[in-house]
Amino acid sequence: MTSAQATCLADALAAGYGILAQGGSALIAVERTIGLLEQSGLFNAGRGANRQLDGVQRMDAAIMEGTQLKAGAVASIEGIAHPITAARLVMEETDHVLLVGPFAGRFAQHFKLDRHRSTGAPRRLSYDRILGKQKRSTRERHGTVGAVALDRSGTVAAGASTGGIDSMLPGRVGDTPLIGCGVYADNQSGAVSMTGAGEGIIRLVIAKSICDRLAMGKSPAVAARQALRMLVSRIRGSAGALILSPDGRFAIRHVTPHMAAGWWSGTGQPTVRGEFP
C-alpha cells in the first residue's frame, strides 16, 4: 500500500463516518466511501480499473441494505466514473437487482452519472490470441474497493466496486455484482464486503456464508476465519473480507498476502493498514 493509497483510505473512512455521525444512512455512507476510492484512480475500481484483454475497462459494482434486503448491481459497465452509484440507482429506481453491459451504461447515462473516458483504445485481437494471452498470464493481481457500515437506526449496508482481475477475457464478471458472493447485508446477521479472486468467492457464495455464520451466533472474526479457511481448503481460493455485525462488532480478515483496509470509530485518526493478521 502506497502512502497516497493510505491517505485516500483514511479520507474515505472519515467521509463515510461523517455521514453516519450526522444521522445519515449506512447505505449513503457506503456509497460515499466507495465513490471516493473510485474517483481517486489509486485502486482497481472506477478511474483506476483494470483493463480486460481487449484493452477496455469494464467494471462491476453492488450495494445492499439490511432492512428490506434491497440490492442493486451493475456488471461489465463501461465509461462510468462511479459504478457504485449506478448500482444504487438500479436498487432505488428499478424493480431489478442487476443490469449488465451496454444497457447498464445507458441506464447510468440516463441518470447523468459522471462519465470516465478511458485512455487508450480497444485492441483488435483474434479470439485465439486473446485466449492465448489469458492462458500465458502468470500475474495474480486483483482488488476490490468495498465498505460496510452501521447507522443509528440499526441498519447495516455493504458495497463493493471493482475493475476485476488481471488477464480477464472480455465480458468476464467476478463476484462483486453477484449478491451473496461479493456483498451481503441483513440486519438480522450483518454486512460483508469481499475482495480477492472472484471465481473462488462465487463458487462458495462467501459473503452469504459469512452472514449465515453470524446469524448462528459466531463473532465476525470466527465467521471470517471459518469461511476463508473453507475457501482455501476446498478450492485453494484467495480472498479478504470486511465484516460488521448489527451490534457493531467487526473484523477484517484475509488469506491474501496483503489487504489495504481500515476503520474509524470517530475518535483519534482512522486506522489504516496493509495487513490484518
Report the alpha-carbon distance of residue 259 to residue 242 in Å, rounded: 10
What pLDDT is attached to residue 200? 96
Nearest to 259 by CA among 272, 246, 269: 272
Quick one: pLDDT at residue 266? 86
Regions of the chain with pLDDT less than 50: 138-141
| Spatial CB neighbours of 26, under 8 Å, sequence gap ≥ 6 | 20, 65, 66, 149, 150, 151, 155, 156, 157, 191
| Assessment of whether the complete model's pTM goes beyond 0.95 | no
Q: What are phi and psi of 42, to 5 degrees?
A: -95, -10
- For domain 3-116+129-264, which CATH number applies: 3.40.50.620, 3.40.50.1170, 3.60.20.30, 1.20.120.1230? 3.60.20.30
What confidence score (pLDDT) does residue 223 get?
A: 98
Q: Which of 145, 234, 221 is nearest to 183 (CA)?
A: 145
* Confidence (pLDDT) at 133: 59
* pLDDT for res 134: 57
Distance CA 199, CA 109 (A): 29
Domain boundaries, the chain: 3-116+129-264
Active site residue ranges: 144
- What pLDDT is attached to residue 138? 44
> Grid cell 470466527 — which residue?
222
What one-letter code names the amino acid at 228?
Answer: L
Residue 63 grid coordinates: 450495494
Q: What is the mean pLDDT of the chain?
A: 92
pLDDT of residue 122: 64
